[in-house]
Structure 1
């Protein structure tokens, strides 16, 4: 997918990959840095405004075709992260 603006990248990510990652797929690989950027931003924002559901990871690989940007998530429950509650007085 080729996009020329963050608006296009946001529309593309929110129309499919954002809703599928973590449920149908573990991650997303793209050669377009804007798509990867929007995806990481949206997952981080979602974890910030509500209880974190997924840990977000990123990486990249250099290939002959260019850079492959990788974004993937792991459910918080799968990595053994427990909810921390303040002690009752």
Structure 2
């Protein structure tokens, strides 16, 4: 298993985003098998509606999930402020 977020092809990213929309799951993790993360030959093996957030480093997945659930946390943390 490798974190390939930064080099993932547009085709794979778009397919996963479309699958998430089609499944109506706002937070979902996909298991993808591919020849190369930069390529266009891939298979989505599984959709996980409760993906593990702690085991994906160095991507800040847990922080982004919190920002999705509570949008004010993202804007307040960017300003360096505290929530009221």
Which has more strand, going by share of residues?
1
TM-score (ref. length: structure 1): 0.28
